[in-house]
Structure formats: structure tokens, C-alpha cells
Amino acid sequence: MAMARIGTGAALVLALWLGPATALAQGFWQSFLRCPAAPTPCVLDKCLDAPQRPAPPVPAGVAAPGDFDFYVLALSWSPGFCETGGAAKAPDQCAAGADLGFVAHGLWPQHQHGYPSDCDAGRPVSRIALEQTRGVFPSEGLARYEWRKHGTCTGLSPEAFFASVKSARDSIAIPDAFKSPRQPQSFSPTDVQRAFSAANPGLRADAMAIGCASGELQEVRLCLSKDLRQFVNCPEVARATCRSPAVTVAPVR
């Protein structure tokens, strides 16, 4: 009986001592077994394709404003965005007669792995700065949001950030097929990439990602150097491209 009591006590001590390590090991193997064979493709503001799970941003404080590797210019295809739930979030962008095609969604500082966000969310934006966003963002509300979440991590003033968004957007040539289509079209994601590459010398598939949802084209994301002068390869971003065999390009209205 005494030996049994000693054995039970020793087992309890051993269990308490090994508990954290055992839990850590179990957590590792559970995570390992849950990992997909390919890297998780959603690494930016949101998943490019709804079924995929986004990676979290770099935790606050890890990178100082201005400490990032390159930019991602996100161009939203307004008709597709509006037809897949965007109308409730962006009534100005989706209003009847808005006649919007590709518009600036954002210019995001990006690391090779992950991205910084909300670096100084309390920093105010002046009315003068917001005046610069007319004709760049589809709404002032989006401009404010993009400054708070992404612009504050660039190390730029609001005025310089919004000027950079405009400069980046203006540097991209929109392929003819996407300028103002009045009828629905269907393309493979690769076709969309090829069209943008043909219209923009130096742009390759490994420097962009095509975003889709419910079979609709939603967005094109392009990786640019910090000086906005050239395209840069961005494997983590490019892996997030749409996996659908074809996407519908909704017409501009």
C-alpha cells in the first residue's frame, strides 16, 4: 500500500513537471498535422478567395513606421466588389451610375512575410490631406480607413501618403478589356495577369495576385518597390492569387 501511495505521488509530480512540455509538444503536433501542404495563401488585408484563411498581421510594435520591404497596390474592380457584398459596405462606390471600374483600394506596406498595420491609429488626418483623395479612393471613408490601418505604417505624412497612392495608381496602365466593359466577360485568372503584364512592361505574374469571390473578379494586387518605380517579386502575395478556373468580369454601370 505504501509503495502504491509513493508511486501515485511520483506520477503526479512527474505529470505536473512534464505538463507544460507535453502540452507544448501536443500543440506542435496538432499544428503540424493541421498544416496544409501548401503555404496559406491569404496574407494581406483579407483573403483573396473566401474559403482561405488569412495570416495575421505583424504584431504592433514589431516594426516601426517606414520599416517594410515593398508596397502592394490594391486595385478594386468595382462591379465585382459591389456584386459580392460590397454594396452594403461602400454605397458611394456601388451607387447606380457611379460608372466605376478599377479604383484604388489601398497602398499597403508589406514585409516579405506578413505586414504591419495600425502603427499610429490616433494620428489625425487633416481636411487638406483628405482633399487629395478625391478621384483616388471611391470614398472619403475608405481613405480615412486606409490611412489609419496602412498609411500610418509608411512613415509618411497623410499628405505624402495620399500623394503616393495617386502616383502608384496613375503609374498602372489598365488593359483595354477592363477600361469600361458594358457586357459581362469571362477570363481565367492567368488571362487577367497576362493582360496586365502586356499593358505594363516589367510586370510579371510573380509580382501580382488576382482576387476573386463567388466566381467574380474583385481585385488586382501589384507589388511595387518602396520608391514606386518598379515592380518587385513578392512570392507570398503572388501565392494568394485566385484559384478559380475562370472569373466573371461584371460590366461597369
Which range among 49-53, 132-136, 216-220 has the greatest average pLDDT?
216-220
24 and 133 part of one domain: no
Low-confidence winner among 27-41, 139-153, 185-199, 217-231 (lowest mean pLDDT) = 27-41
Average pLDDT of the segment spanning 127-131:
92
Q: What is the mean pLDDT of residues 126-138?
A: 92
Dihedral sign for Cα atoms in the order 229, 235, 237, 240: positive
Helices (H) and strands (E) in the chain, counts: 9, 6
Which residue, 203, 223, 212, is CA-closest to 248?
212
Q: What is the pLDDT of residue 54?
A: 47
Strand extents, DSSP E, the chain: 70-77, 102-110, 185-187, 208-213, 216-224, 247-249
Return the higher-pLDDT residue of 63 and 137: 137
Please state the domain count of the chain. 2
Q: Is 181 a domain residue?
A: yes
Backbone angles phi, psi at 112, to 5 degrees: -60, -30
- In this structure, the answer to whether residues 107 and 8 fall within a common structural domain is no
Q: Which three cell numbers stand for residue 30?
A: 496538432
On whether both 106 and 228 belong to a single domain, the answer is yes
Do 95 and 191 sit in the same domain of this protein?
Answer: yes
Residue 51 forms part of a structural domain: no
Q: How confident is the model at residue 63 (pLDDT cuts 50, 70, 90)?
A: low
DSSP assignments along 63-86, one per residue: S-TT--SEEEEEEEEHHHHIIIII
Evaluate whether residue 55 is within a structural domain.
no
Residue with cell 505583424: 58
In a domain, residue 64? The reply is no
CB atoms within 10 A of CB 206: 17
- Averaged confidence pLDDT in the chain: 81
Q: Are 28 and 74 within one domain? A: no
Q: Is residue 230 part of a domain?
A: yes
**80 and 130 share one domain:** yes
- Whether 105 and 230 share a structural domain: yes
* 6: in domain: yes
Q: Is the pLDDT of residue 235 over 70?
A: yes
Read off the pTM.
0.76
Please count the other Cβ atoms lying within 10 Å of the Cβ belonging to residue 229.
9
Split at pLDDT 50, 70, 90, the class of 15 is: very low
Check which CATH number belongs to the domain holding 203 and give it. 3.90.730.10
- Please state the rounded mean pLDDT for residues 33-61: 44
Residues 160 and 241 in one domain: yes
- Domain extent at residue 134: 70-249
Q: Cα angle at 132 between 144 and 78, to 5 degrees?
A: 65
d(Cα 56, Cα 194) in Å, to the nearest integer? Answer: 30
Residue 116 domain-assigned (yes or no): yes
- Segment 53-74 shows an average pLDDT of 73
Q: What mean pLDDT do residues 123-147 have? A: 92
What are the tens digits of pLDDT across the range 78-116?
999 999 988 888 888 998 888 999 999 999 999 999 999
- The reply to whether 91 falls in a domain is yes
pLDDT for the residue 13: 34
CA–CA dist 143, 140 (Å, integer): 5
Whether residues 211 and 143 fall in one domain: yes
Average pLDDT over residues 36-62: 45
Are both 30 and 92 inside the same structural domain? no
Question: If pLDDT is split at 50, 70 and 90, which confidence band does 56 have?
Answer: low
Q: Are residues 211 and 156 in the same domain?
A: yes
Residues 95 and 194 in one domain: yes
Residues 6+ apart with CB under 8 A from 142: 90, 93, 105
